[in-house]
Amino acid sequence: MKSLEDFLGSHMIYTYENGWEYEIYIKNEDTIDYRIHSGMVGGRWVRDQKVNIVKLVDGVYKVSWTEPTGTDVSLNFMPNDKRMHGVIFFPKWVHEHPEITVRYQNDFIDLMEESREKYETYPKYVVPEFADITYIGNPGTNNEKVVSQAPYEGMTDDIRSGKLKFD
Ligand code: FER
C-alpha cells in the first residue's frame, strides 16, 4: 500500500494492546463502517460514519471523526507493518454507561444525542493504544455487504478464515 487510493476500500480487523478487538471498513474517501467485537463497547456497530481520511506519508493513513455519542476517535494505520495506533476520547457518560451505545447506532441516533445532553461529558476518558492488524482485505469501495450484520462471537475468525465473504 502506498497511495491514498490504495487504502480506500480496505477492510481490517485489529486487536489493541488492551485486548479490545475492532473491525473497520474504509468505505470511501470520507466514510467508514465498523464493528466492535470486544472491549468496553463490544457489540456496538455503525454504518456510514463520516470521517476525515488523509495519507500522512506513503503507506501511512489517518482516520479521524466525532461520533453522535460525543466520542472522538483518531486512528493511524500502518498496514504494511500490520500495525495501527488509535486514540479514543470517551465522554464521561460513555465510560459510565457503555451499554447505552452498544447497539446498531444508525437506528438510535436520537438516543445518542439525548444521552450526550443528559449525562456528563467531563472529565473525558482517553484511551491511547497500539494494535496489531490481524486481517486486511480489499472488497472495493462502497460495498454494502461488508458491514451488514451485527457482530457475533467468532465472526472475526470467520472473516479471517474466508468463511464470511463480501462479494
Ligand atoms: C476504533 C476505535 C474506536 C474504531 C472505532 C471506535 C472503527 C469507535 C468508538 C466509539 O464510537 O465508541 O479503532 O474503529
What does the domain layout of the chain look like in residue ranges? Answer: 4-161
Q: What architecture (CATH level 2) is domain 4-161?
A: Beta Barrel (2.40)
| Contact predicate 87/126, CB 8 Å | yes
- Using most ligand atoms within 8 A of CB, pick from 15, 21, 22 the residue to mutate for ligand 1: 22
Which atom of ligand 1 is found nearest the CA of 16?
13
The residue count of the chain comes to: 167
Residue 101 pLDDT: 98
Residue 167 pLDDT: 76
Residue 32 pLDDT: 99
Residue 112 pLDDT: 98
SS3 content of the chain, % helix, strand, coil (to 5): 20, 40, 35
| Contact predicate 116/91, CB 8 Å | yes
Residue 85 pLDDT: 99
Active site residue ranges? 22, 67
pTM, full prediction? 0.97
- Using most ligand atoms within 8 A of CB, pick from 88, 89, 101, 106 the residue to mutate for ligand 1: 88
pLDDT 10s digit of each residue in the chain, 167 long? 999 999 999 999 999 999 999 999 999 999 999 999 999 999 999 999 999 999 999 999 999 999 999 999 999 999 999 999 999 999 999 999 999 999 999 999 999 999 999 999 999 999 999 999 999 999 999 999 999 999 999 999 999 999 999 87
